[in-house]
Amino acid sequence: MKFFKAQQVFDFVQPDWSKSLELYLVHQIFNYFPETFEGAASCFPNLDQNNNIGRTGMTLEQVVRCAIYKQKKRLTYRELAVHSYDSKMGIVFMKIDDGQGFKFQTLQENVSKITDDILYDINIAICKLAIELDVDDGKKMRSDSTAIQSDIHYPTNCSLLWDCIRVCGRILKKASYLFKEITVTNYQKSAKDLNYQIVNTQGQEKRIPLFKKMLRKQNRLIEQAEFAVTYLNKLKVTNPKIDKERTSYLLQLQQLLPNMRKVYNVAYRKEILNEEIPVEDKLFSIFESHTDCITKGKRNSVFGHKVNFTSGKSNLIFDVIMERGNPNDKGYFPQTLENVKRNYNLVPRDFATDGGYASIKNLTFAKELGVKNIVFTKSKGKLQNIVTSKRMETMLKKWRSGMEAIISNYKRGLDASRCKWKGYPAFKSFIMWNVITFNLIVIAKVIIERLP
């Protein structure tokens, strides 16, 4: 009987790593190379000598491990909190002490403190470790860009107007309960009906009267919101609890008002005046206002941000570039080579990209930097690839197409095609956490292949 109880305890503490060898090897990488995540310490000024973070009790290593485990298992923070209490593998991997566990609020708060710049440096440290372990040597690289979606619905002028009216109306209604001087006229029901009518009405001429009604409601609500902002800004409240709510409503309205004005302006110019609106003037979401419209060739537009990945022969992602707007791929080429040279002190011998990066300027830049084989899958005009042989050119062209498989594996394997984190800083952190997780899995797979 005593042996049975002891065996039960042993089985609970020791997970069956055979079901996830990759996770076990990532666990060992952090054990033997803790310096890979120590750069994140700068995000926590209240660390003590034991790397404990304030009163939450989490260590720096636990924060990084929790984030990696979350992305690898494709969990929400609530699900991650459950795993920190009752998952054998999760408890050991995240180094949770007996009976410790963490609430999802604590996990989210600490993970979100690590900025994308720090994560970029952590990824560099992981790639350098991969070079030391002979997983990759950085002599052969390929690059391609992709679009990662923001967590928004498809933007139309009527849906954006409806979003503004319902959100602003809700905030004003809540504020009017506490502060009786704030009056609000509820347009939510009528605006919802108008939105339905516009969606189901064909023909621009028939839609114009409906849009005019919607715009009038939007304008009246903007006036009410402006009055509420002026009133709340001047109001002096002695009760701390009420003053906290006053500040909250004021901040929400101040953030929403510029977006409401912008949505009104774009909808009026497009739907009433029938103007062509430049992309720079448009707003695609009042919730994720940083969202850009990404168009690539004849493909459907994607609402999110463009990301450029650079990978080695082991599929390790060496470099990531994230920029606002919809930049041309040609600009990524020299920036990528400069980043690789600065971060890893090396110049790749072979570099392959698709035709979108091709230009004589880029070809000259790579040649002067010391790249021997420079291949674009499509040559334009007088531009000719620089290679040591025709066979090398053919091989690099075929090898470059594997970059699309890496991006697909990154998106599908880590559920990273759509970012559900809020705000642009969180968007960049989401990309980098997934890149770090992806690279650790790549290193683990190479080590598994070498095992007898």
Chain segment 349-359, per-residue pLDDT in tens: 999 998 889 88
Regarding pTM above 0.85, the answer is yes
pLDDT of 4 strictly over 50: no
pLDDT score, position 98: 77
11, pLDDT greater than 70: no
How many domains does one find in the chain?
A: 3
- Non-local CB neighbours of 160 within 8 Å, separated by 6+ positions: 263, 267, 283, 285, 286
* pLDDT value of position 8: 41
> Is 382 or 144 the better-scoring residue by pLDDT?
144
221 and 332 share a domain?
Answer: no
217: pLDDT strictly greater than 60: yes
Q: Are residues 165 and 267 in the same domain?
A: yes
Check whether residue 372 and residue 270 sit in a common domain: no
Per DSSP, the three-state class of 345 is: coil
Angle at 115 between CA 109 and CA 118, to 5 degrees: 130
Q: Is the dihedral of CA 65, 67, 70, 75 positive or negative?
A: positive
Same domain, 318 and 412: yes
Examine residue 117 and state whether it is found in any structural domain, yes or no: no
Q: Are 305 and 147 in contact (CB under 8 A)?
A: yes
Asked whether residue 165 is assigned to any structural domain, the reply reads: yes
Asked if residue 5 has pLDDT above 60, the reply is no
More confident residue, 303 or 203: 303
What local confidence, expressed as pLDDT, does residue 56 receive?
A: 58
Among 160-164, 294-298, 388-392, 411-415, the range scoring the smallest mean pLDDT is: 294-298
List, for residues 254-301, the tens digit of each pLDDT value: 999 999 999 999 999 999 999 999 988 999 999 999 999 998 777 788
Q: Are residues 177 and 267 in the same domain?
A: yes
pLDDT higher than threshold 50 for residue 1: no
Give the three-class secondary structure for 375: strand
pLDDT at 395: 94
pLDDT computed for residue 403 by the predictor: 93
Does residue 108 sit within a domain?
yes
Q: State which residues form the domain around 20.
A: 2-112
**Of the listed ranges 30-34, 54-58, 327-331, 347-351, the one predicted with least confidence:** 54-58
What is the pLDDT, as a whole number, of residue 3?
34
Question: For residue 54, what pLDDT is reported?
Answer: 61
Averaged confidence pLDDT in the chain: 89
Asked if 132 and 35 count as a contact pair (C-beta separation under 8 A), the reply is no
In this structure, the answer to whether residues 20 and 98 fall within a common structural domain is yes
Specify the 3-state DSSP secondary structure of 322: strand
